[in-house]
Structure 1
Amino acid sequence: MRRIGFIGTENSHTDHFLRFLNTEQRHPGFRVVALAGGRTERNEALRAQGGVEHVVDDPAGLVPLVDAAIVSTRDGARHRDQAEPLLAAGLPVLVDKPFATTVDDAVAMLDAAEKTSAVLVSCSALRFVPQIADLADDAGRGALRQLSIVGPGDPDSEYSGLFFYGIHHVEAALEILGNPVVEPGSVTASVTRDGDTTVALLRIAGVAVVLTFVVPDAGHRVPFHATATGVDGVVARELTLGRDYNAPALTRFVTAVETGRAPAGREQLLSPVVVLSAVADALADQRERP
């Protein structure tokens, strides 16, 4: 039995992972046995719901109890501090989106994983929606010239601004583009913000990329949508997340634990953080202008 520990249980993704692993037992031989964060009301409810044996105060407390861990904390700025003790112990770690909110934090986690040969996985659920394959296929549209991704995103979110939802835009775009390597400092963004809408213009792998973030509220939330414009045509698709939208990411992690091989290399994990950091930096510069 491979024992899994959870960090960041305030996130609803934790409910999904717990359901897949303990309640529905979709991955025989894998089970959630421990939660970090102390005996909060939320953790006690999850413990009862999934039959979880242990609750510890901090991520380091998971090390002797588990064989792998999932970090789902909403604020990606906390992911490095939470993942590093586990990676230092050589444990496989799934870092839920966003992987990190700064390039420095992303590099630090990648370095920590390499030092102990720990398996490190992170991915947006949008990478797995079936519409992505339609958009990536150039059979109908021809060579790609422009890619537009629209979805929810709030520059003022308490969870590190655009990183909370905006990482979905970026990872979807990179998946459609064929996952080009985006080196730190190699991309710049032009950003405008008008009320609840922020638009970022970038050029990635020779393609003009437009990312549109619309602030969600209790009354509305714009769906994720992508438009791929080629020399021969245009393909547009809504990117639909079903009830089990987190299942592919968990399957990817389970497979990585079983094989001991991460599904994505250092560059693929780092590139989304590089792109969204460029957007966040441009937005910050705009705010500082008189």
Structure 2
Amino acid sequence: MKIGIISFAHTHAAAYAAILRDRPDVECIATDPGHTTRAAGESGGRELAEQIGIGYVDTIDELLAWRPDAVVVTSENARHADDAVRAAAAGAHVLCEKPLATTRADALRIIDACEKAGVWLMTAFPVRFTPQYARLAHRVQAGDLGAVLSISGANNGRLPTARAWFTDPALAGGGAVADHTVHVADLIFGLFPEVDASEVFAVANRMLHPQREAETAGLVSIRYANGLTAVIDCSWSVPEHYPTWGGLTMRLITETGTAELAPFAEHLDGFAEADRSPIWVPHGTDLDAAMLDEFISAIAADRQPTPSGRDGLRALDVVLAAYESIATGQPVTVGAAE
């Protein structure tokens, strides 16, 4: 299968490229338009492709002329729509990095383009592929835990300094709220696929990194149509010297007790005497590889990959409502914000 990568702008792009490079059933090339305009020291372009060990072309037109079966869109969030629509028009299935877009109109533009072209669209939510989450979803949907009353989630990480655009609201669609709310919101939708979010109230600030233009801390409260309530801490609150990037956790309060999810907790730790630093060695499922396997398997079987583009839209709707709430100081109906 021929798979193209559009842009190394996102920090996940290099990892996806390395996974695709190592698959015997995949031929992968990349393009990275605009890499010369990035901040000094940010990797990209032909040099990064050669370091990873995949092919490279200079433009999106050249990549699409290669006639890929599928394309992975890992450009800046505000550029997802244009890149995904071009890929779909060329007949390529699309895996789009999260958030799906920065506006509802652009997310719908991606979805409509893929549907009209007859290609599959998947949103990149790798945490869906943890074995622990699969077991939790099965137990929730089987009713083993009774009714779920509330959920508290946290997706905290370091300030993403490797790519300056993450803190540029025009390119990222916001800051920490856009970057980290969507993962937990998607996991909740995965637990309750038929239940819509109805209302959001959110607060945010720049206290952790006041020199940044975008918000660097946020708390998002969500009410769902079935009465469930959820709160998501979506902050860039992990210090730079911490031994890992951060983590994601969820706690469910149910009729029968509590259930917890911590997909990034599996690790070996210790202390390196040589440089007096902590050691953190993760182990367990490679979530990026599992997500790409779902994408490739779904394309081969001509079925909808999960999470879909519509799943990406549902998570984006929560984020857009959160920003409207932050701006107004009031609860906002989900789907009403643009």
- 1:273 equivalent to 2:316? Answer yes
Q: Deviations over 1:89-128 (max 9, x none)?
A: 2211110222122211111101101111011111311111
Tell me how far apart the structure 2 counterparts of residues 15 and 141 of structure 1 sit (CA, whole Å): 39
Could you say what secondary structure the match of 2:319 adopts? Answer: helix
Q: Deviations over 1:48-106 (max 9, x none)?
A: 2344333123x333211131211112x32210011111111221111022212221111
In the alignment, structure 1 segments of 5+ residues that lack a partner are none
Tell me how far apart the structure 1 counterparts of residues 222 and 329 of structure 2 sit (CA, whole Å): 16
- 1:208 equivalent to 2:229? Answer yes
Identify which range, 5-14 or 278-287, moves more after superposition. 278-287
CA contact (8 A) 1:125 1:246 kept: yes
Q: CA deviation at 1:152?
A: 1.9
Could you say what secondary structure the match of 1:187 adopts? Answer: strand
CA contact (8 A) 2:7 2:30 kept: no
- 1:37 equivalent to 2:33? Answer yes
Identify which range, 197-206 or 259-268, moves more after superposition. 259-268
Tell me how far apart the structure 1 counterparts of residues 102 and 31 of structure 2 sit (CA, whole Å): 24
Report the AA paired with residue 55 of structure 1.
Answer: V
- 1:233 equivalent to 2:257? Answer yes
Q: CA deviation at 1:251?
A: 0.8
Tell me how far apart the structure 2 counterparts of residues 231 and 260 of structure 1 sit (CA, whole Å): 40
Tell me the TM-score normalised to structure 2 length.
Answer: 0.73
Q: What is residue 187 of structure 2 aligned with on the other side? A: 172
CA contact (8 A) 1:180 1:205 kept: no
- 1:125 equivalent to 2:135? Answer no
Tell me how far apart the structure 1 counterparts of residues 49 and 194 of structure 2 sit (CA, whole Å): 41
In the alignment, structure 2 segments of 5+ residues that lack a partner are 37-42, 160-165, 209-216, 266-281, 331-338
Q: What is residue 191 of structure 1 aligned with on the other side? A: 202
Tell me how far apart the structure 2 counterparts of residues 142 and 39 of structure 1 sit (CA, whole Å): 51
Q: CA deviation at 1:39?
A: 7.5
Q: CA deviation at 1:14?
A: 2.0
Q: What is residue 76 of structure 1 aligned with on the other side? A: 77
Distance 1:176 1:89, change over 3 A: same
Q: What is residue 20 of structure 1 aligned with on the other side? A: 19
Q: What is residue 255 of structure 1 aligned with on the other side? A: 297
Could you say what secondary structure the match of 1:180 adopts? Answer: coil
Distance 1:118 1:134, change over 3 A: closer
Q: CA deviation at 1:19?
A: 1.6
- Using the aligned pairs only, state the percent identity: 24
- 1:102 equivalent to 2:144? Answer no
Q: What is residue 283 of structure 1 aligned with on the other side? A: 326
CA contact (8 A) 1:163 1:276 kept: yes
Q: CA deviation at 1:130?
A: 2.4
Q: CA deviation at 1:181?
A: 5.3
Tell me the TM-score normalised to structure 1 length.
Answer: 0.84
Report the AA paired with residue 253 of structure 1.
Answer: F
- 1:157 equivalent to 2:146? Answer no
Distance 1:6 1:96, change over 3 A: same
Identify which range, 193-202 or 251-260, moves more after superposition. 193-202
Q: CA deviation at 1:266?
A: 5.4
Tell me how far apart the structure 1 counterparts of residues 54 and 135 of structure 2 sit (CA, whole Å): 40
Q: CA deviation at 1:285?
A: 2.4
Q: Deviations over 1:225-267 (max 9, x none)?
A: 1000111111123231757221121111111221232224554
Identify which of 218, 229, 242 aligns with 2:240: 218
Tell me how far apart the structure 2 counterparts of residues 211 and 36 of structure 1 sit (CA, whole Å): 33
Tell me how far apart the structure 2 counterparts of residues 82 and 149 of structure 1 sit (CA, whole Å): 31
Could you say what secondary structure the match of 2:92 adopts? Answer: coil
